[in-house]
Amino acid sequence: MAVYTDVSDGELTRFVADYDLGAVLACKGIAEGVENSNYLIQTERASFILTLYEKRVKEADLPFFLGLMEHLAARGFSCPTPIKARDGGVLRRLCGRPAVLISFLEGLWPRTVEPFHCAGVGDALARFHLAGADFPMRRANDLSLPGWHRLVDATRARADEVAPGLARELATELAALEAAWPRDLPTGVCHADLFPDNVFFRDEAVSGVIDFYFACTEALAYDLAICLNAWCFDDEARFNPVKATALVQAYQARRPLSEAERRALPILARGSALRFLLTRLYDWLNQQPGALVRPKDPREYLQKLRFHRTVRHAEDYGL
């Protein structure tokens, strides 16, 4: 939970005056979110989210993220839309940081995941992939194999503080994935971070998807593998086949997986488990004193990774 940049009332009033939204009635820093500072702004017109991009988001990537939101919204996919200022621009500056106002999305994200949520997210992910199919911009996934190498190197010396033998296990896993990684699956825009706190529901239906700041051009089935990890395990990191079946079947009802994608699913699931294991491990080992965000326990993803190593066939995931 975090608001890294404190926006003064004067700065905010001047910022919003560049839009056609009426006066600011209220502004609250939002506790959710790790990478950026977010405020919920109420103006005479409506509610909006004000996002200030902190240093973990590269400014050069912002046109991709904002363009993607506009592209998806134009195709009827429910997600926040950047609001245009009077001069027609969406990316502005506030408190020395890149900043945007985006539309406010109703709905609640599920703290406790039920199978119907998994079906909802499977369907939404497929719609996301289809809506993004003709998005013309590209962005490399900087948390794929080369990024994992960097994180394995950066955590090697102290990984065993988190679990005995972890440094060696990570090196072995990375070598195995390097050898077996599928290179010719269908690619497209992936969300790449579709965790429960990024999917809003109303009355058991998905009302929208937020947080596109890991989106990248990647194998589409890898995005599904991320969702398997994020949605289909219980609180003790035990795999739940009912949820996985709901997720995968809802996805396939909109976008059937190719045979190559099905075969690749176990290895993609290992890769995505390794990806979150490594970033959580790095954050765990590099906690800043006074940080406002509690790092997440990396061992949750170690357990998930070990589960996926026991999976031999995509059928084990409910396909």
Asked if 136 interacts with its own copies (CB under 8 A), we say no
Are 251 and 129 contacting, i.e. CB atoms less than 8 angstroms apart? no
Decide the pairing of beta strands 97-103 and 199-202: unpaired
Residue partners of 163: CB distance under 8 A and separation at least 6 = 169, 299, 302
Q: Cβ closer to its own copies: 166 or 210?
A: 210
Exactly one of 18, 32, 142, 297 binds its own copies (CB under 8 A); that residue is 32
Asked if 24 interacts with its own copies (CB under 8 A), we say yes
Q: From the CB of 81, what's the least distance to its own copies, in Å?
A: 16
Cα distances (Å, whole numbers) of residue 53 to 95, 97, 156, 262: 10, 6, 30, 37
Q: Cβ closer to its own copies: 42 or 249?
A: 42
Task: Tell me which residues in 96-115 interact with its own copies (CB under 8 A).
Answer: 104-112
Determine the residue type at 65.
F
Q: From the CB of 37, what's the least distance to its own copies, in Å?
A: 9
Q: Cβ closer to its own copies: 3 or 225?
A: 3
Asked if 42 interacts with its own copies (CB under 8 A), we say yes
69 exposed, middle or buried (CB, 10 Å; 0-12, 13-18, 19+)?
A: buried
- Give, as one character, the DSSP assignment of residue 300: H
Asked if 172 interacts with its own copies (CB under 8 A), we say no
Q: Cβ closer to its own copies: 46 or 260?
A: 46
Asked if 95 interacts with its own copies (CB under 8 A), we say no
C-alpha–C-alpha distance, residues 206 and 168, integer Å: 41
Asked if 46 interacts with its own copies (CB under 8 A), we say no
Asked if 258 interacts with its own copies (CB under 8 A), we say no
Are 277 and 307 contacting, i.e. CB atoms less than 8 angstroms apart? no
Exactly one of 17, 19, 34, 40 binds its own copies (CB under 8 A); that residue is 40
C-alpha–C-alpha distance, residues 78 and 89, integer Å: 21
Per-position b or e across 17-44, b if 16+ CB within 10 A of its CB = eebebeebeebebbeebbbbbbbebbbe
Q: From the CB of 12, what's the least distance to its own copies, in Å?
A: 7
Task: Tell me which residues in 289-318 interact with its own copies (CB under 8 A).
Answer: 290, 292, 294
The residue ranges that bind its own copies (CB under 8 A) are 1-3, 6-10, 12-13, 23-32, 40, 42, 47, 104-112, 200-203, 290, 292, 294
